[in-house]
Amino acid sequence: MSTLFNTYKRFPFEIISGEGVYLTDNHGKRYLDLTSGIGVCNLGYNVESLNQAVIQQLHRLWHTSNLYHSTLQEQVAAKLVKGKDQLVFFCNSGTEANEAAIKLARKYTGKHKLMAFHQSFHGRTMGALSITGNETIKSGFGRLLNDVDFIDYNEMSSLSAITSDYAAVFVEIIQGEGGVTLADTEWLIALEKQCQTQGVLLIVDEIQTGMGRTGKLFAHQHYGIQPDIITLAKGLANGLPCGAVIGKQKLGEAFQPGSHGSTFGGNPIAMAAANQVLDCLTPTLLEEVQHKAEWLFEKIEKELTALTMVKRVSGKGFMLGIQLANNVPVEEVLGKLHEKGILALSARGNTLRLLPPLIISKEELDKAITQIHQVLSAY
């Protein structure tokens, strides 16, 4: 009998090692990974440069208080903002980043009301859960923040609900947990304009879409918008707990000593990894991701959308969703893919979700789509 809380529906095997884009379980079975640890290990597994950066820091210092200056934090922050008038706060996870963003927006604006979108996902702590548009996972926890409203995603008519009464609007460029739904360009630009007109902060949750997943460092860069606040985590340290809030410089007046903090946020080990991750995410690598992702999307549309059980394909970059007919349960499909040595994910709407490491090759992607086609064709 396990002594763990039963908070996860676990598959009946344990991953014990990884190399590149492959993982091996406790039975010796090898898998081609299309999950990246749910969008975390963007650079793959057992990466020598990351290993060395962490090992070197491990032998220097594991932890110290944020009461002291941190050169590593300054280096990582500078690489994230790239010369823009922005400030960075480091924490340990995406949900912590969104909690910090809620506090920052409220304190800066002096307003408490928040806006988010139906089917969104922003985390599982009480504040982050309050701005998550999924009633199922909110059930049973009592009263959350009571001044949060939800509107329809990708609907122009919904934007008129954003008024000057709100402190901020939280949005994902791609609703990952919500079914891998991509924001429409015109709608996202209109959202930014409405926020600016009403004096409302625009907060873009880049926790899953950031760190190169869509072929740019941040997904919002495809649209030319300028969020007031960006929240990050997942791929930032390629597997070590690390999150961040990036905000426009003007917001700095709201976060002064004592306003917010984190014991482990920005710790030396995580910062050493993040520092190396940002060095690895070169323009060349990001351009390769875009090219491979475009090829992959075309291949999926050509080979899978002709199947009767595939309803739609959505997403951008290496964040793709294949929505299946209801008579083809995605959890069952995942099990059959495991048998063929492929790891994938699910999302809302009976959606097969693909989040491969950025370093995956076309040959490996081709192999994966062939196996997915075989599994789906059997239905």
Tell me yes or no: is domain 49-280 CATH 3.50.50.60: no
| Residue type at position 196 | Q
pLDDT for residue 145: 95
pLDDT for residue 255: 97
Q: Taking all residues of the chain, what is their mean pLDDT, rounded to a whole number?
A: 97
Cα 44 to Cα 21: distance, rounded to the nearest angstrom: 5
Q: What is the pLDDT of residues 38-59, one digit of tens each?
A: 999 999 999 999 999 999 999 9
Name which of 371, 317, 345 is nearest 179 in CA terms: 345
Kind of pairing between the strands at 174-175 and 229-232? unpaired
Domain 15-46+283-377: what homologous superfamily?
Aspartate Aminotransferase, domain 1 (3.90.1150.10)
pLDDT for residue 109: 98
3-state secondary structure 304-354: CCCCCCEEEEEEECCEEEEEECCCCCHHHHHHHHHHCCEECEEECCCEEEE
Average pLDDT over residues 191-218: 98
Q: Note the helical H segments in 46-184.
A: 48-58, 71-81, 94-109, 126-130
Kind of pairing between the strands at 201-205 and 166-172? parallel
Q: What is the pLDDT of residues 301-344, one digit of tens each?
A: 999 999 999 999 999 999 999 999 999 999 999 999 999 999 99
pLDDT for residue 371: 98
pLDDT for residue 1: 85
Domain locations along the chain: 15-46+283-377, 49-280
pLDDT for residue 12: 95
Query: Chain-centre distance of CA 197, in angstroms?
Result: 28
Name which of 278, 225, 266, 222 is nearest 93 in CA terms: 266
Does 121 have pLDDT greater than 90?
yes
pLDDT for residue 266: 98
pTM of the model: 0.97
Average pLDDT over residues 12-40: 98
Name which of 161, 164, 180 is nearest 172 in CA terms: 180
Average pLDDT over residues 197-206: 98
State percent of the chain over pLDDT 90: 100
Cα distances from 253 to residues 34, 87, 104, in angstroms, run 42, 11, 10
To which residue do tokens 């099990």 refer?
Answer: 335
Q: What is the pLDDT of residues 244-292, one digit of tens each?
A: 999 999 999 999 999 999 999 999 999 999 999 999 999 999 999 999 9
